[in-house]
Amino acid sequence: MLRGRCNTVIGYTQDFMTTSHPPRKPKLLFITANRVGDAVLATGILAAMLERMPEAEVMIACGPYAAGLFRGVPRLRRLYILNKQKYNRHWLGLWRACIGTRWDMIVDIRNSAISRLLLSNKRYRYHRSQGRHKVVENAAIIGQQATPPAPRLWLTEAAQDAARTMIPAGKPILALGPAANWPCKQWPAERFAALAQKLTAADGPLPNAMILVPADTREREQLQPLFDAFPPERLIPMIGEELTKVAACLGLADLFIGNDSGLMHLAAAMGVPTLGLFGPGYEDIYGPWGQHTAVVRTPESREELLARLPHPGAHSPNLMMGLEVDTVVQAAINLLSRLSVKAPS
């Protein structure tokens, strides 16, 4: 949702080097993920660090797709966008941007060489573990795996104002995430359309709800069957919008249902009742986080589905076809019922 060709610095351009007045403030460098979902799942430990260092000035380095998540972070002084370059020159650019600063703390989700080459009083780096949810795995970086901080987002005032303009007050909102970064784990748009029709029917849990559909500009064509299923006045398409605006709009929804994707984690981080659809993915590691979330998966196991993949270079099949619309409808009703939201018996 955010594009760019060269490394970009957003925010203050002056260096972090201190002057005599006012007194020096602590400096925190947070190096996080490129993918939106991974970046969202790491925001909990950023929030924890901000609490530990309430006076710290923050520099965040991330990939272009995730950059919009961080524009509203408190005390943000620089947002450095890591656009991939040949021979890993993007890391050299980050090193040049950071080398002149005396860091008090570095948190490196990428476990990059940069965090080893900079001077810092404390540094925390990612180490892969097996079988733990990504939020717990991230929390282990800072020693909080027993009480992992939940992902959270910081919305700009502009994003909140835009959401209030786009989302009509007083109407139920069903948000859908029909796209995914891997076609094999993408439930068909036609089934999302059938799902939305049942959930927003007169006897459904969200009667006559508006349909909010955020998506990347590259995904517009594949979502056309969903858009064709409803009159324009029922739809709120958000195509190619910045992530902070998408997050603000999702925060006003009554329910989100989507594929295993960054949008799913975005909705969960906003506290929206979130149902994730899984097949070949790893719901135990990448499922939506929080008591307000649930997952529903194909009747086939992950192993059964992955065994269907052809040899490299061949056309990959959609591995989500075993998940029926009625199964997802019932899972959505169960989630809403559990959260004490009115649902049909």
What confidence score (pLDDT) does residue 315 get? Answer: 73
Per-residue confidence (pLDDT) for residue 228, from 0 to 100: 95
Does the pLDDT at position 194 exceed 90? yes
Euclidean distance between CA atoms 119 and 123, whole angstroms: 9
- Which CATH class name applies to 157-338? alpha beta
Better pLDDT: 14 or 294: 294
DSSP letter at 44 equals H
Higher-confidence position of 264 and 3 = 264
The verdict on pTM exceeding 0.95 is: no
**CB distance 332 to 286 below 8 Å:** no
Alpha-carbon separation of residue 133 from 129, 287, 291 (angstroms): 9, 8, 14
pLDDT in tens, 61-110: 999 999 999 999 999 999 999 998 887 889 999 999 999 999 999 999 99
Which of 205, 318, 307 is CA-nearest to residue 257? 205
Q: What is the average pLDDT value for the chain, to the nearest integer?
A: 91
Tell me the pLDDT tens digit for each residue of 210-249: 999 999 988 888 899 999 999 999 999 999 999 999 999 9
Q: Report the relative pairing of strands 76-81 and 8-11 from DSSP bridges.
A: antiparallel
For the chain, give every domain's residue range: 8-141, 157-338
- What does the H/E/C string look like for 242-260? CHHHHHHHHCCCCEEEEEC
How would DSSP label each residue in 218-238? GGTGGGHHHHHTS-GGGEEEE
Q: Is the pLDDT of residue 344 over 60?
A: no
Decide: 259 and 170 in contact? Cβ < 8 Å. no
Query: pLDDT tens for residues 96-145?
Result: 999 999 999 999 999 999 999 999 999 999 888 778 999 999 999 999 99
| Angle at CA of residue 71, ends 65 and 74, nearest 5° | 140
Span 248-269, mean pLDDT? 97
In angstroms, the CA 64 to CA 66 distance is 6
Contact 67, 38 (CB under 8 A): no
pLDDT for position 330: 98
Helix/strand/coil (H, E, C) string of 52-94? HCCCCEEEEEECCCCHHHHCCCCCEEEEEECCCCHHHHHHHHH
User: Which pLDDT score, from 0 to 100, does residue 247 have?
Assistant: 97
Distance CA 211, CA 227 (A): 9
DSSP secondary structure letter of residue 47: H
* pLDDT winner (highest mean) among 9-18, 81-90, 267-276: 267-276
Residue 13 makes CB contacts below 8 A (sequence gap 6+) with: 78
Q: Is residue 20 very low, low, confident or very high in pLDDT (cuts 50, 70, 90)?
A: low
The residue type found at 100 is G
According to CATH, what is the number of the domain 8-141? 3.40.50.2000
Token pair of 62 as six digits: 């991330």
List the structure tokens of 309.
Answer: 């993949």
Q: How long a stretch of residues is the chain?
A: 345
H or E element, residue 120: strand 120-125
pLDDT at 312: 67
Please report where in the chains the tokens 């919305």 appear, as a residue. Answer: 155
In this chain, the answer to whether the domains covering 8-141 and 157-338 adopt an identical fold is yes
